[in-house]
Amino acid sequence: MQSKQGITLRIESLYMWLEAEELRIASGCDKEMALSTANNIFSTLNRYSKLTGLVVCERRCDSVGIPALSSSLNLSLGRIKQSFVLTDRHLPDMPIVYASDAFLSLTGKDFCCSNHLTYPGYSREEILGCNCRFLNGPGTSAEVLEEINQHICREEACTVHLLNYRKDGSTFRDLLHVSPIRNSSGKVAFHVWVHLDES
């Protein structure tokens, strides 16, 4: 457990999961890469909290019906180059309240395929307020999704391999790490979803 300036972050042990189409266990290297990315995000949130004295869970991102994250937190999160989203545990359907530029690129924005054509992808406005299910499609493993939901309900972190879909319908193999972010009282305020393209 790590505690700094009103933010308590607990990174639970990582679990191994199977992908529907192939037997694949998240390797130690996969877990280290996902955990390193999550730690970078947690570090930025801690720095923000230390500099401003604000508890991260008091602010949320801008979308219909969702109060805005502070501009300084948006700037801090914008400096993180990894692909991730933050979801709000306390709003119905756990909507996305922040999406990184790298996440927008991964899910289709400026996505360039083998024929060197660029396809329009999701905009930030399309993503904010949505649940992460918008990436799922017919080949996405229902069993893995259920396992993710179970870990979220138990307030535990998990790392899985998952087949997800871009806006144009093309697929990508997603090394997904989901981890709770706790407030100063130890309650989960957000979840960070780190998406790493393994395609």
* DSSP calls for 79-115: T--S-EEEEETTSTT--EEEE-HHHHHHTTTTEE-TT
Strands 158-165 and 118-119: unpaired
Summarize pLDDT for 27-75 with one digit per residue, the tens.
666 666 666 666 666 555 555 455 444 444 333 334 444 455 555 555 5
pLDDT for the residue 56: 44
Identify the residue whose tokens are 């289709």: 108
The CATH number that applies at residue 69 is 3.30.450.20
Question: pLDDT of 79-111, one tens digit each?
Answer: 666 888 999 988 999 999 888 888 988 887 554
Which residue range(s) make up the domain with 38?
Answer: 2-197
Domain total of the chain: 1
Residue with tokens 């396992």: 147
**Position 199 confidence tier, pLDDT thresholds 50, 70, 90:** confident
Radius of gyration from C-alpha coordinates of the chain: 16
Contact by Cβ (8 Å): 34, 194: yes
The pLDDT of residue 60 is 34
